Structure 1
């Protein structure tokens, strides 16, 4: 196979007797797969952490990170049967790329990235649905046209069937990008770049407005990109690596002047910002990509860093009678340990009653919940823990920084979620 992604990070992986089953073909990709040494942590019956959403709903070994790994090894060795190949295809379709295994597996198996390569290898002729999801960031710049198309699809069972879209998950309404006018005076606390990704701009513009208010209230001069850019997340997830590479390179070029000025890159949507620190480095985009990765922080990570350094001066007030708040973490937030930052930031809000929900993936997972073949799994994932725990406290507000998480909870009858930036903005004096 000719790998679509850069797997050289695994060039020296697999040393020692435990890794004796590295497949004969696949090069460094095979070594990434062979990181799994059958410790079977992913098969333990647990109700904490993220790993592994699909195994939790199917309870079949093939749907676990380790089960997928074993089948891929057999495939790369030319030993896989037709029945096993069909099982592997289904199991990889059911992978939500949550990155739970990368954090919670004993050997940090990165099944999310392995899945993207797998999808890329079998997507020599991408479907229309794949292409539409991959190019969605560009399409979002035309909200009226997209809304007309979405309305047509939502009203047409035939179109839903043709595109293999989940009929119980309507395509969301696209909003115009927010018009933001940051202050131009020098920031007493420093200068940062607030990256408004395409999904935040068109599905949650209120989060961008709130984040700008908070950062400026804390004394920062906030810079914005002159044009809207996406980092390639959607295309990467669809296995269209060439498209993802093109989108990511354009973003790097736009970010580079700010990196040269030593400005940190602050992002709001976990899946897009964290791509800069992870998947971006598998696209073989050189040293500039590494510098961008080193400069990228989630909004909550940045604020938590300032709190830890005793530098954050954010004027916040208590709101009498405010409802309790429950926090659901995006899988990628959890994978990088960012929930500690969420807790640190929420602690500085006067009088805020908050707690964290212990749940795995919500089942939204980008395009996953919109795909007809994953409709049942998507809902079951939400019903495992997240929805029941929200139902226990119907008065509570929900903080969920991921757009997919908020969309999934709302469509299944839960509360309308807020980004942490919106909570902070509400409490500004």
Structure 2
């Protein structure tokens, strides 16, 4: 959607109309000349420098490891203001200093929660990337990262090449420089098995204890292709508490390849600034959600970045009231369990975990306050001790940690708080609900992180019987074996 009041020099791709009145009548707002409502969203920053404060906060990961004020939210705002105050005929958005500052934003959403003005730098970055790539060519790596949901569905043979790349040091030396990949880490590989529609989807239930409440489980791209056992664990937990669970997915035998492709929130497209594609994906998902909401279903997701994309970022894609309906009825797994427990509807018989747990929160979980829900759910487990790691971004941040030019930054972010906490964890089980977070933890430690759904499922009295056909994720096992076979660490490029 195009902002109706934009300058002729900037054709915006996202809907920034929520900021139409921001800064109006404020002589100190310093709204840039170009960019319309987008410029107002940037000028929402009041330069309090909270983004440069020390302490227990998420923002700004790149500033925290560098001390460079340009890499804080306020620093990026200053650079963007300068660019949008200059004639766009001079292409100021391609200024090298601004490009570096935006490139090193990991889209953690910490600013959206922790900044007094709730500056949404990740969404600002998505628009920035759209404007940038309207002025210069886009790399093949960017296109492939964005289109991951499509090629995983349409061209699964590509995974064989990824596995070969992970195993072969020689192939890494050839492929990685061409694609700009971080040679020190493995790319994720497919798990090799699919997710079945739950037994309770038709209302029959696995134990005859359905309580009349219905859940549609949204399986994101990362869970679907790389860690489907997490979805199986979530289904077990929900069914054990009496919910009728169905997978939110197209009916088989669709009229076209597009009709049958699994739903996607558009996160990978949005992260690369490919707004039209992100909008198409989000619209398709939302059109599937609204009829289910009308039938009384709650929408539950497992990946924080995907659920937040549906609840927050999709509102800027210009998808109208349907997007609002979908957002109000979509929950993270931990949010849903915490809500149902508080209402008295959650009826689970749980045993104690084998060990205490150590929890690492995904940045987007923290951005929506979902760590409180994680705490409430963990308290459902009897005789269970748990602690939270106080840290900022793990450093993987989607594709950030897979990119060669970000390798050192990614590792530095992990080394700041996360890796020391993992090294001192003792025998505690590590919980990390973010796919990227689990990848980073596996890359740089010997921990075997679980999603919260796996921990809760493992405490169900009859879980072994329920999951007899649910083998460990083959992709995870394969990746750990590959790492063991490597002779020595590979140097990263800066």
Query: Which residue of the partner structure matches residue 242 of structure 1?
Result: 276
Tell me the secondary structure at the aligned position of residue 223 of structure 1: strand
Q: Distance in 2 between matches of 1:136 and 1:229?
A: 13
Q: Distance in 2 between matches of 1:118 and 1:210?
A: 39
Q: Does 1:119 align with 2:129?
A: yes
Tell me the secondary structure at the aligned position of residue 140 of structure 1: helix
Q: Distance in 2 between matches of 1:251 and 1:259?
A: 13
Query: Which residue of the partner structure matches residue 301 of structure 1?
Result: 335
- Alignment map for 1:28-107 (pairs within 5 Å): 28-46=37-55, 48-78=56-86, 85-107=95-117
- Matching residue within 208, 211, 218 for 2:241: 218
- Matching residue within 196, 211, 224 for 1:179: 196
Does structure 2 retain, via aligned residues, the 8 Å contact 1:49–1:359? yes
Q: Distance in 2 between matches of 1:346 and 1:324?
A: 10
1:51-71 C-alpha deviation (Å, 9 max, x unpaired): 110101111000000000000
- Matching residue within 166, 173, 177 for 1:161: 177
Query: Which residue of the partner structure matches residue 11 of structure 1?
Result: 20
Query: Which residue of the partner structure matches residue 290 of structure 1?
Result: 324
Query: Which residue of the partner structure matches residue 404 of structure 1?
Result: 436
Per the alignment, do residues 205 and 313 of structure 1 end up closer, same or farther by CA in structure 2, a change over 3 Å counting? same
Does structure 1 retain, via aligned residues, the 8 Å contact 2:83–2:92? no
Q: Distance in 1 between matches of 2:411 and 2:212?
A: 44
Query: Which residue of the partner structure matches residue 7 of structure 2?
Result: none
Q: Does 1:273 align with 2:283?
A: no
- Alignment map for 1:342-361 (pairs within 5 Å): 342-361=374-393
Q: Distance in 2 between matches of 1:289 and 1:359?
A: 32
Q: How many residues align?
A: 426
TM-score, normalised with respect to structure 1: 0.95
Q: Does 1:200 align with 2:231?
A: no
Q: Distance in 2 between matches of 1:115 and 1:375?
A: 20
Q: Distance in 1 between matches of 2:91 and 2:144?
A: 33
Does structure 2 retain, via aligned residues, the 8 Å contact 1:134–1:243? no
Q: Does 1:313 align with 2:325?
A: no
1:181 Cα deviation from its structure 2 partner: 2.8
Q: Distance in 2 between matches of 1:288 and 1:182?
A: 29
1:126 Cα deviation from its structure 2 partner: 2.2
Query: Which residue of the partner structure matches residue 145 of structure 1?
Result: 157
Q: Distance in 1 between matches of 2:25 and 2:434?
A: 40
Tell me the secondary structure at the aligned position of residue 447 of structure 2: coil
Does structure 1 retain, via aligned residues, the 8 Å contact 2:358–2:386? yes
Does structure 2 retain, via aligned residues, the 8 Å contact 1:52–1:64? yes
Does structure 1 retain, via aligned residues, the 8 Å contact 2:71–2:104? yes
Does structure 2 retain, via aligned residues, the 8 Å contact 1:203–1:403? no
Tell me the secondary structure at the aligned position of residue 128 of structure 2: helix
Q: Distance in 2 between matches of 1:18 and 1:374?
A: 39
Unmatched tracts of structure 2, length 5 or more: 1-9, 205-209, 251-261, 462-494
1:375-396 C-alpha deviation (Å, 9 max, x unpaired): 1110000000011011112321
1:294 Cα deviation from its structure 2 partner: 1.1
Per the alignment, do residues 304 and 68 of structure 1 end up closer, same or farther by CA in structure 2, a change over 3 Å counting? same
Does structure 2 retain, via aligned residues, the 8 Å contact 1:324–1:397? yes
Bigger drift between 65-74 and 250-259 goes to 250-259
1:366 Cα deviation from its structure 2 partner: 0.6
TM-score, normalised with respect to structure 2: 0.83
Tell me the secondary structure at the aligned position of residue 153 of structure 2: coil
- Matching residue within 125, 141, 144 for 1:129: 141
Q: Distance in 2 between matches of 1:262 and 1:181?
A: 18
1:158 Cα deviation from its structure 2 partner: 2.1
Q: Distance in 1 between matches of 2:326 and 2:247?
A: 15
